[in-house]
Amino acid sequence: MTTPPLRLFFALPCPKDLANLLYAWREGIGADGRPVDVANLHMTLAFLGSVPRGRKSELLELGKTLPREAFTLQLDHLGRWRNGILHLSPSITPEPLLNLVHRLREMLVALDFPVEQRPFHPHLTLARHSIRLPDAQPSFAWPVRKITLFSSENSPRGVHYRAIGDWSLNP
């Protein structure tokens, strides 16, 4: 029997303190839709989709070569896309983040992984299937200190992201 592939993505995991703050803030503004679990809050850097298990080690090696410059994300914009994604985003994307995503995509292409062609829109999803944009002005500072390779797994309690590799950034 063949083992099923993994569903992988590189992301910035939201620190626990900030995740708790965002959770409470989201409740306070009365956001609609299906809320993202507090443990799952993150910013996707690169979504790989289905990856054969045998290729996991290539991604763990790739992770070691990523730029390590820490940065702070100012989440100062609340938006909702037509696909129902209610999200927070930075109005200014820090240079180290752009650099990181650029290098990540470059290395994925070099290894022949399928890579997103669309421009990178940094965002942290708060809820899905939202039909109303609350009138609220966020102001959250996210000190980014870690990159994680996650495996997205389904369980009876909903989707769970399992960290299979992480790399710390240097302030």
Residues carrying an active site annotation: 42, 123
- d(CA 36, CA 159) in angstroms, rounded, equals 10
Phi–psi pair at 56, nearest 5 degrees = -60, -40
CA distances to 8, 51, 54, 60, 159 from 3, in Å: 15, 11, 10, 19, 20
Residue 128 or residue 137: which is nearer to ligand ATP going by CB?
128
Interface with ligand ATP in residues 90-129 (CB under 6 A): 116
Tell me which residue has its CB nearest to ligand ATP: 152
The label of the residue with tokens 């850097």 reads: 45
Binding footprint of ligand ATP, residue count (CB under 6 A): 7
Q: Which of 25, 32, 47, 115 binds ligand ATP (CB under 6 A)?
A: 47
Residue 32 or residue 116: which is nearer to ligand ATP going by CB?
116
Say whether residue 44 binds ligand ATP (CB under 6 A): yes
Residue 66 or residue 85: which is nearer to ligand ATP going by CB?
85
Cβ 32 to ligand ATP, closest distance in Å? 16
Cβ 171 to ligand ATP, closest distance in Å? 25
Cβ 136 to ligand ATP, closest distance in Å? 22
- Helices first, then strands: H and E counts in the chain: 3, 10
Strand partners, 10: 46, 149
The one-letter amino acid at 24: A
- d(CA 73, CA 28) in angstroms, rounded, equals 22
Supply 163's token pair: 């960290």
Supply 15's token pair: 């620190």
Interface with ligand ATP in residues 143-162 (CB under 6 A): 152, 159
Interaction site with ligand ATP (CB under 6 A): 7, 9, 44, 47, 116, 152, 159
